[in-house]
Amino acid sequence: MRHVLRNLLEAEKAGKKQLAVLIDPEKFDPETAKDFLQELPSFTTHIFIGGSTVTSNEMESCVKAIKAETSLPLVLFPGDHQQISNSADALLFLSLLSGRNPEYLIGQQVRSVALLKNSGLEIIPTGYLLIDGGRECAVQRVSATAPLCQQDPEYIVDTALAGKYSGKQLIYLEAGSGAIHPVDPKIISVVKEATQISLIVGGGIRNAQQLEAAWNAGADLVVIGTAFEQGLTL
């Protein structure tokens, strides 16, 4: 057991900011795993693996290829109940709290139990909030839910607090992969201040300034996917 959550909380307490690189198995050639990982910043702390429409076979071969080339913790970030691989270390057990689609609040979660109960994966209860990133994203399409408006921070805070009160260990503020506007640092800071919960922030972060801004506003772990797919170096 890698104790992914415990290490994350300890890093937060110690004031160490974390960076997860998101790999979408649908867009990733396992043959390139070694080269891709070599190019990542030395301060990368986690590899997240997942996507909105990934098959279980794609997931498994991607996780195995990455695992062979890195000792970083591998965290599943599943788009549905089939995106589970025992070769990873942990799984974000996501509930889409910003939406009102029961399938993504509890339906997929119940269906995943058959695979999870014998898996040995560390399961991390995570409240997932989709925030408007300026264009329709895959999560929005697949889940058929509307994102939360960045102009209504109070509602975002209340949604995050409802997640905390329900026992979520992490809150993930998601502007959507390839977002035009990442989650505004002002939103990150009001949510952090009000909830004092560990925050993951991702979607549309493309450069060091945006990464720093998210960290400085109160994100404990920032997720970057698309920019690294496109060759970002930090």
Which residues belong to the annotated binding site for sn-glycerol 1-phosphate? 172-178, 203-204, 225-226
Of 185, 195, 190, nearest to 217 (Cα)?
185
Distance from the Cα of residue 90 to its chain's centroid: 12
Q: Is 224 in the site for ligand 1GP (CB under 6 A)?
A: yes
Exposed, middle or buried: residue 110 (CB in 10 Å: 0-12, 13-18, 19+)?
A: exposed
Residues 82, 178, 181, 194: which binds ligand 1GP (CB under 6 A)? Answer: 178
In the complex with ligand 1GP, the residue whose CB is nearer, 105 or 142, is 142
Strands (E), the chain: 18-23, 46-49, 74-76, 90-96, 122-130, 170-174, 198-202, 221-224
Q: Which stretch binds ligand 1GP (CB under 6 A): 60-68, 142-150, 154-162, 222-230?
A: 222-230
In the complex with ligand 1GP, the residue whose CB is nearer, 118 or 230, is 230
Q: Is 174 in the site for ligand 1GP (CB under 6 A)?
A: yes
Give the single-character DSSP code of 15: T
Residues 177, 184, 199, 217: which binds ligand 1GP (CB under 6 A)? Answer: 177
In the complex with ligand 1GP, the residue whose CB is nearer, 41 or 178, is 178
The b-or-e profile of 67-81 (16+ CB within 10 A means b, else e) is beebebbbbbbbbbb
Query: What single letter denotes the amino acid at residue 131?
Result: I
In the complex with ligand 1GP, the residue whose CB is nearer, 4 or 20, is 20
Q: Is 205 in the site for ligand 1GP (CB under 6 A)?
A: yes
Q: Which stretch binds ligand 1GP (CB under 6 A): 54-62, 81-89, 117-125, 223-231?
A: 223-231
In the complex with ligand 1GP, the residue whose CB is nearer, 24 or 114, is 24
129-168 footprint of ligand 1GP as x/- string (CB under 6 A):
----------------------------------------
CB 176 within 8 A of CB 205: no
Residues with Cβ within 8 Å of residue 10, at least 6 apart in sequence: none
Q: Which stretch binds ligand 1GP (CB under 6 A): 1-9, 96-104, 145-153, 172-180?
A: 172-180
Q: Is 220 in the site for ligand 1GP (CB under 6 A)?
A: no
Residues 72, 204, 213, 220: which binds ligand 1GP (CB under 6 A)? Answer: 204
CB 205 within 8 A of CB 178: no
Exposed, middle or buried: residue 13 (CB in 10 Å: 0-12, 13-18, 19+)?
A: exposed
Which residues of the chain form contacts with ligand 1GP (CB under 6 A)? Answer: 22, 174, 177-179, 202-205, 223-227
